[in-house]
Structure 1
Amino acid sequence: MPLFIVTCTDKEGTLATRLATRPAHLARIEKLDAEGKLIVAGPMPKEHDNLQAGFYGSTLIVDFETREALDAWLSDEPYLKAGVYGHIDVKPFIQVFPKG
């Protein structure tokens, strides 16, 4: 069970594009969840109670057999293709808690 933490950073001024692309993005995340590969995923808003202020980006913890498989999946990410994400950082992750 190789886990990876994926931190995606939004480019400035891409809120409208993010919102327009969100349905396609969520469909891919839902599919990943249905495949049992998603541990956690969500956006990082600039203001918790005001989403119109924009987003810093998104964070995911995912389970992929290899880094290459994850990279292949990321290459089709709608936010990346639409120019929302300016940078994606991937690091190996070991889940210690919660146990089980």
Structure 2
Amino acid sequence: MQYLIIAYDNDNALDKRLEVRDAHVAGAKKLIAEGKIINAGALIEEDQMVGSTLFVDFESEDELNDWIDNEPYVVNKVWNMDEFQIVPVKLLPKS
């Protein structure tokens, strides 16, 4: 199932984001190679990064939740889970 993930950062999360960015990017690259992350990018407000957006495709909600539970930005409290949104979507095929 495909989802749009909207993940706003906690206040003053930039230092923590930078500390765990390598782990986040490594995990994201693995999931991109597996076709589980379709696309991702930063949320920008007033020229400042305030969070992340991702289009993901997981076989089950359990697999989605396992990724969320182990995502470095979640584990290290970069993303504000009170503002974390998961929206089911159906993306256009690539071809």
Please classify the TM superposition score into its range, dividing by the shorter chain length.
0.7 to 0.9
Return the letter of the residue paired with 1:8: A
Number of the residue aligned with 2:16: 17
Q: Does 1:95 align with 2:86?
A: no
- What is the CA distance between 1:9 and its match in structure 2? 1.1
Distance 1:75 1:94 in 2: 23
- What is the CA distance between 1:70 and its match in structure 2? 0.4
Number of the residue aligned with 1:73: 67
Aligned residues: 93
Distance 2:89 2:62 in 1: 15
- What is the CA distance between 1:77 and its match in structure 2? 0.7
Identity %: 38
Over residues 7-57 of structure 1, what are the superposed CA-to-partner deviations in whole Å (9 max), with x where a residue is unaligned?
Answer: 111011110110111000000100001111121011113344xxxx4x221
**Over the residues paired in the alignment, what is the CA RMSD in angstroms?**
1.5
Distance 2:46 2:22 in 1: 22
Number of the residue aligned with 1:30: 29
Contiguous gaps of at least 5 residues in structure 2 = none
- What is the CA distance between 1:99 and its match in structure 2? 5.3
- What is the CA distance between 1:84 and its match in structure 2? 0.8
TM-score (norm 1): 0.83
Bigger Cα Rg: 1
Deviating beyond 2 angstroms after TM superposition, the runs of 4 or more aligned structure 1 residues are 45-48
